[in-house]
Structures are given as C-alpha cells and as structure tokens.
Homo-oligomer: A and B are copies of this chain.
C-alpha cells in the first residue's frame, strides 16, 4: 500500500532512534527505509528498539549521499519542527497526507528527517517540494525523530483509512487540474538539471562560483514549486546541453 513511500533518515546520531523509527513505520504499514550516513548501523540498540520490525532494518538502504537516497523520488517532503521562512510551501501533516493520497497517487515519495540536533541543512531543504510542519508548542519543539516518523506515518495511514471510509474519490480532491498523470521528474534528473544550470551560469559568468548559494536557492525554490514532469525536465536538460555544446565550439 505504501511501498512507494521512502523514509529517509539523515545522519542519525542515536542508533536507538533508527530502530524506533522502523517500528513506528511498520505499525502504520510503511516499509521502505533509507539511511544517509548513519553514525552507527547496524547496532544492537537499533534492533532492540525495533522490537519486531527487524525486517525493515535488514532491508534498509544505507547510502552516503542524499543524491543516492532520492535517485527515484518524484515528490520530496521534509519534516520540520519549526516554521521556516522559505518560499517552499510549509504544510501541516493532514495536508501532507492528503497530497500523497489524492494529488500524488502512486508517485515515488520521499520523507526526509534531519539530524536529532539540527534538523535539515539548507542544501537538504532545497531538495524538498514541501515542508511538513508538525505543530509543536512554541516553547518546546523538541520532537524526537522517531516520534516525528510515528506522527507522519500515522497521519498517512489515518487519512488513507478516512478517505477510504468516506469514499473520497481521487478526482474530487485534485487541486492542481493541469497536472497530468505523467511521472514527475526524479530527484536524480532534478539534480542533474540544477548542476547543469549552475555550471552553465558559472561558465557564462552570471554566477560567482565562490558564492553560488543564494541564487541557487532561489532557483531551487522556483523549479521545485512547479513540479516538472520527466518529459519537461528532458526538454530543459536538452536546452542546457545545447547551450553548452554551442559554447564549447565557440
């Protein structure tokens, strides 16, 4: 049911949290776990806290970069305990669940969870199409990482059962009517696009390679927001390639 949902834990420090996250996922029917540079894995502590969800740990992918984690992801949600002042839309968990169920039905989804101490970096936030804000109280937003996985897994299952029970049709809830059923651009394609674009801008001296950040962030915000399909990104990549080829012959 939720095989297309990829839970991605980034640089998790406490290995117990990895086990607790696996257990949280399994109770709600999620099974696909990716670990980006975990401090320790596998570990006894993770296995103990998984408490019967050992299969999820055994099948977890362990990778060394976010690019590898998101290679086939079409839509990326990042968990954020605080509201961020960004142009990437920040939505509550119920809306995130409805988006996955009704708007992005069947698409490859990634849920990003950041470090225990500091959450997601700006570079990681740039990969997100949405931020999901689990609204804690203002004076205590220290949500445990496995507890956040539990809440977002729960909300997904709960909203799915609710929609099933209330017979909500996919078509009734689509709020972006122009979007086709075509596959969206994968994370790998989008990275390829951003890298091509960046190198091109450097080459044409539009972008200072010593300080590329601000402009690249703005561009991420723009292109992530429009959620390009695979054929659309192929067109853009084709344009970039054509420009580069032309420049090399100049």
List residues of chain A with CB under 8 Å of any chain B CB: 20, 23-24, 26-29, 51-53, 92-94, 134-137, 140-144, 146-147, 150-151, 154, 157-158, 161-162
* A142: chain B residues within 8 A (beta carbon): 23, 26-27, 51-53
In the bound complex, CA of A141 to CA of B157 (Å): 13
Give which listed residue, B146, B158, B161, contacts A147 with CB less than 8 A. Answer: B146
Please, which residue of chain B has its CB at the minimum distance from the CB of A20?
A: B144
Give which listed residue, B27, B137, B141, B162, contacts A136 with CB less than 8 A. Answer: B27
* A136: chain B residues within 8 A (beta carbon): 27-28
Q: Is the CB of B26 within 8 A of A137?
A: yes
Give which listed residue, B52, B134, B162, contacts A94 with CB less than 8 A. Answer: B162
Give which listed residue, B51, B93, B141, B143, contacts A144 with CB less than 8 A. Answer: B51
Q: Is the CB of A24 within 8 A of B147?
A: yes
Having A51-B144, A93-B158, one finds 17 other A-B pairs with CB under 8 Å, namely: A20-B144, A24-B144, A24-B147, A26-B142, A27-B140, A27-B141, A27-B142, A28-B136, A29-B137, A52-B140, A52-B142, A92-B162, A134-B154, A135-B158, A137-B157, A147-B150, A151-B154
What is the count of identical protomers in the complex?
2
* A162: chain B residues within 8 A (beta carbon): 92, 94
Q: Is the CB of A158 within 8 A of B27?
A: no
Min CB distance, A52 to chain B, in Å? 5
Give which listed residue, B27, B93, B144, contacts A137 with CB less than 8 A. Answer: B27
Give which listed residue, B28, B92, B137, contacts A28 with CB less than 8 A. Answer: B137
Q: Is the CB of B24 within 8 A of A140?
A: no
Q: Is the CB of B147 within 8 A of A135?
A: no
Min CB distance, A75 to chain B, in Å? 22
> What are the nearest 7 A-B pairs in CB distance?
A27-B136, A29-B137, A147-B150, A26-B140, A27-B143, A151-B154, A52-B142
**Which one of A20, A23, A134, A151 has the highest number of Cβ atoms from chain B below 10 Å of its Cβ?**
A151
Please, which residue of chain B has its CB at the minimum distance from the CB of A23?
A: B144
**Which one of A29, A52, A135, A162 has the highest number of Cβ atoms from chain B below 10 Å of its Cβ?**
A135
Contact flag A157-B140 (CB < 8 Å), given A147-B24, A151-B150: no
In the bound complex, CA of A92 to CA of B136 (Å): 21
